Amino acid sequence: MTADWTQAVRQRLAPGRLLPLGGSRDGAWMTERAAASVLAGAAAAEVPGAWLGTLRIGPADPREVREPVVPAPPSALWPGPLRVTADFAATAARPLPVTADR
C-alpha cells in the first residue's frame, strides 16, 4: 500500500526529462510532463471520443542529435528531431479507423 502511494506521488511530482526547444544554439528546454500536458489537451480537443494514454517523447534518430552550444541541464536531451509515441483509447461511437485518422 505504501509503495503504491509513493509511486503515485512520484508520478504526480516528476517533471520527466528535459526536452530541447529549438536548435543547438537556442539553449531552451521544457519538461516532458509539460509537453505531454499540452499534447494531451490538444488531442482531447481535436479528437472527441479518444483519450491519450502512455506518451513518450525521445530522439527520433540518435545520429541527428547535436551538441548544444549552451550547456544542457542534467538529464536534458540534446537538440535534434523528436519522436512522439502514444497509446490511446477510444469509444465505440465511431469506427476506430475514423477516430484514428483524426
Measured CA to CA, the distance from residue 15 to residue 64 in angstroms comes to 25
What is residue 19's predicted lDDT score, i.e. its pLDDT? 94
Residues 27-42: what's their mean pLDDT? 91
Query: Against a cut of 0.85, is the pTM above it?
Result: no
Residue ranges with strand state E in the chain: 18-21, 28-31, 50-59, 82-90
Closest CA to 78 of 88, 89, 67: 67
What is residue 7's predicted lDDT score, i.e. its pLDDT? 64
Of the pLDDT bands very low, low, confident and very high (cuts 50, 70, 90), residue 9 is low
| pLDDT at residue 45 is higher than 80 | yes
Contact 18, 79 (CB under 8 A): no
